[in-house]
Amino acid sequence: MDFLGEKMKIKPLYLYASFAVIAILALIILTQFNGSDSNSSDISNKVMPQDSIHSGLGNPTAENPTKDNVTENVKHKLEMLKKAVDDNPNDTLKIREYADFLAAAHKQMDAIQYYERILQINPKRTDIYFSLSFIYYNNQNFTKAEELTNKILSYDKKNVQALYNLGAISASIGNKEKAKKIWEDLLSEYPNSEVSDLTKSSLSQLK
């Protein structure tokens, strides 16, 4: 999905931590199964990703997953995770797993309350701020995404993923000059970081 408009093909938020990768996989596969994308290619030969979101969702006796059995398995998984959280209300690992699954299952607004519960226990969890900023960015609430990204930087001012994201958010709202400065500063201060190539590519598309 292109959040930056037809004229700008800059990659959106740098996807940080396991949630982001898992969420993308889950959102794609669940969208295909529920038929919401009429332009989807044939999925009869696609394999269910083997990750924590999809573990236990497949039916080993069936040749291919169907809309009905995926939906039922997702519902069952959500119920089990919810029970685990209710039984262990201060277990941030359980809460995180449930929140990640909610987000991946198109229940992103529901996921927010559980991510925020983790922050109530530990307000310095930058990984949770990343997850939340991704949700808000995905829903084009760029103001909130920027606020959360700045929160990450308040705890870790050298976080290159967050710095890249700050530029991406600025580009998304049409503030090219601000995005350019953020990315140029990022390359100047951290020329060999893991986001250097991505930043250079994004910069080149601002011109």
**Is the domain of 199 the same as that of 135?**
no
Of 116, 135, 154, the residue at which a domain comes to its end is 154
3-state secondary structure labels for all residues of 10-57: CCCCCCCHHHHHHHHHHHHHHHHHHCCCCCCCCCCCCCCCCCCCCCCC
Whether 7 is in a domain gets the answer: no
Instruction: Look at residue 12 in the predicted model and tell me its pLDDT.
Output: 57
Instruction: Look at residue 207 in the predicted model and tell me its pLDDT.
Output: 67
**Is the domain of 130 the same as that of 108?**
yes
**Is the domain of 133 the same as that of 35?**
yes
**Is the domain of 52 the same as that of 138?**
yes
How far is Cα 181 from Cα 194, in angstroms, rounded to an integer?
A: 19
CATH code of the domain containing 32: 1.25.40.10
**Is the domain of 72 the same as that of 142?**
yes
**Is the domain of 125 the same as that of 189?**
no
Contact 99, 115 (CB under 8 A): yes
**Is the domain of 87 the same as that of 25?**
yes
Residue 190: give the domain boundaries.
158-207
Instruction: Look at residue 36 in the predicted model and tell me its pLDDT.
Output: 36
Contact 41, 35 (CB under 8 A): no
Instruction: Look at residue 106 in the predicted model and tell me its pLDDT.
Output: 84
**List of residues 6+ apart from 12 with CB closer than 8 A:** 3, 4, 137, 168, 172
**Is the domain of 141 the same as that of 62?**
yes
Residues of the chain scoring pLDDT < 70: 1-70, 207
Q: What pTM did the predictor assign?
A: 0.70
**Is the domain of 133 the same as that of 163?**
no
